Each structure stands twice: as C-alpha cells, then as structure tokens.
C-alpha cells in the first residue's frame, strides 16, 4: 500500500514539474541585449496618453497632450482603434461616451463624424494617428498600443504598420494585449519592436473573457509564440508570479504602467525598467 502511495506521489510530482516547466516556457520573451535596450527608446520616460492635464484644458490622447510630451522631452504612449470606415483613431475606450459625450462606439462611426467630436469639454478634437505621428517624428519615441476588436487584429496592424512607413525618422514600438498582433509582427515586421501588454485580468471588472483566456493572458502564456521584445505590465500587479518569473528568468525589457509618483519612478529606473507615467512631470 505504501509503495502504491509513493508511486502516486511520484507521478503527481512529475506532472507538477512538467506543468511548471510549461508555465515558464510559455512566458518566454526575448532577453534584453547585454548592451541594454534600444538607447533611443530607453533614455526617457513615456507620458501615458500624452502629457495631459484636464484642469489645464489638455485632455488625454489629444494632439495638444502629445505636443506637450514631445516638447518636454518625453516619449508618449497612445491607443489606436479602427473606425467603421477603417480610419486609425487615437482613442483608449471602445465607447466615445466618457471622453466625448457621444453615445457610440469607435468601430460603429465613420472617421468624419469622429473627427468633429471634441474631448472632455475642450476644443481639442479626437485625432487620427496620421495627425499624431509628425509630432514625434525625429524628436521623441512613441509607444503605440493597438486596441483590437471583433477579430480585426490583422487589418489594424497592417494599416498602422503601413502608415509608419511614411515616417522613417520616427522611433516607435507597438504593444497590445492581443498576442495575435505580436505574432503578426513577428512574422511580417520583426524589425519593429513589439511588446506584450498584460495585467491580472481576474482583477479587471470590465473583462468579459472566459477564465481560461484570462489565465493565459494574465500570465503571458502566448509569449513562446510571439517572443515579445519587451513586456508592459500593470504596476499594481507587479508582485504577481508571472511578471516576477518572466523578468528574472527570461530577462526582457520591462515597462510599468501607470506610474504615478516620482518615488516609484526612481525605484523602477534603478533596476533598469522603463516607466509609463501619468499625473505629474516625471524626472
């Protein structure tokens, strides 16, 4: 009887080791080069949705917020969605309600309509990506997040990459929560630095994904297919097992979002990480 129990325990241990190995392999990412991450991209901080401050009439993801970031020497992070007529709209939310007051989604409205909307009670209009790229071209780097919807990851990625060809002096990276974006980039444009966005989706009340997909994405278990050049993980979830193991074992460049204090900036920079900040002028 004891022998049977020992055999069962041994089998369970082996299964646990195999699963642990697969877990670690799943989050595989490209190791940061010994000389450091791309110097043009790692020598500055990134303003989350631009250097915005609504109290001063500068809304998030507005052309003015991006100019403020570039003029102050910051890189910037922005979000891109596709409108009904395939325009590349700079907007974080799927719904236009919070930022413009319009009760519609970006994907359901033509770009001509969207471009007439103003942001957060200001005169700033919702910009298209082609209006923002010149702000950073030849100046400071840009971190573009692709917001996929209804399986449009390939078309969205193709259109953004096609537009980027017009700005050869722009230092740019592309990131997404959707690993299919990264897989497409790995196959078709490996020269563009690609990053896996992630957080603990079980803490996200707005997440509608099934538990299995939440687990896979939260733990970056598609990395072995997409091989991201960097990982951008949510600050509040930084002590989770997945980012801790990924950082220590695979050693990719890490970005953290959203950083809201200089103290936190200092701590992250000290260990070689990059920050996407908001709400204060990061130093």
Ordered structural domains, the chain, with CATH:
34-87+128-277 (3.20.20.190)
Cα(198)–Cα(68) distance, rounded to whole angstroms? 27
- Residues recorded for the chain: 283
Strand partners, 53: 58
Q: Select from 278, 185, 272, 182 the least CA-distant residue to 223.
A: 182
Q: Select from 88, 137, 133 the least CA-distant residue to 115.
A: 88
Percent of the chain with pLDDT over 90: 86
Query: Quick check: helix, strand or coil at residue 158?
Result: helix
pLDDT at 10 over 80: no
pLDDT confidence of 80, banded at 50, 70, 90? very high
List, for residues 13-68, the tens digit of each pLDDT value.
778 788 888 899 999 999 998 777 888 899 999 999 999 999 899 999 999 999 99
Average pLDDT over residues 220-241: 97
Q: What is the pTM of this model?
A: 0.94
The confidence score (pLDDT) of residue 162 equals 98
Got the DSSP string for 43-75?
SS-EEETSS-BGGGTB-TT-HHHHHHHHHTT-E
List, for residues 112-136, the tens digit of each pLDDT value.
999 899 999 999 999 999 999 999 9
> 226: which DSSP letter?
H
């Amino acid at each position: 009887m004891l022998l049977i129990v020992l055999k069962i325990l041994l089998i369970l241990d082996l299964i646990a080791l195999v699963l642990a190995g697969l877990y670690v392999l799943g989050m595989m990412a490209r190791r940061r080069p010994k000389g450091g991450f791309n110097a043009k991209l790692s020598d500055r901080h990134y303003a989350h949705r631009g250097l915005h401050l609504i109290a001063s009439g500068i809304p998030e993801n507005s052309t003015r917020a991006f100019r403020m970031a570039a003029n102050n020497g910051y890189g910037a992070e922005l979000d891109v969605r596709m409108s009904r007529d395939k325009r590349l709209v700079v907007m974080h939310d799927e719904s236009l309600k919070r930022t413009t007051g319009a009760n519609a989604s970006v994907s359901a409205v033509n770009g001509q309509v969207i471009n007439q909307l103003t942001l957060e009670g200001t005169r700033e209009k919702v910009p298209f990506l082609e209006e923002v790229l010149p702000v950073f071209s030849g100046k400071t780097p840009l971190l573009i997040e692709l917001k996929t919807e209804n399986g449009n990851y390939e078309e969205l990625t193709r259109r953004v990459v096609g537009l980027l060809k017009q700005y050869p002096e722009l230092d740019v990276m592309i990131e997404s929560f959707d690993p299919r974006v990264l897989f497409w980039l790995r196959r078709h444009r490996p020269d563009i630095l690609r990053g896996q966005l992630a957080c603990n989706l079980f803490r996200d009340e707005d997440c509608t994904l099934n538990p299995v997909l939440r687990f896979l994405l939260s733990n970056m278990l598609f990395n072995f297919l997409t091989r991201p050049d960097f990982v951008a993980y949510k600050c509040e979830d930084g002590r989770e097992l997945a980012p801790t193991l990924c950082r220590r074992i695979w050693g990719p460049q890490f970005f953290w979002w959203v950083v809201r204090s200089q103290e936190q900036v200092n701590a992250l920079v000290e260990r070689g990480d990059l920050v996407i900040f908001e709400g204060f002028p990061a130093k």
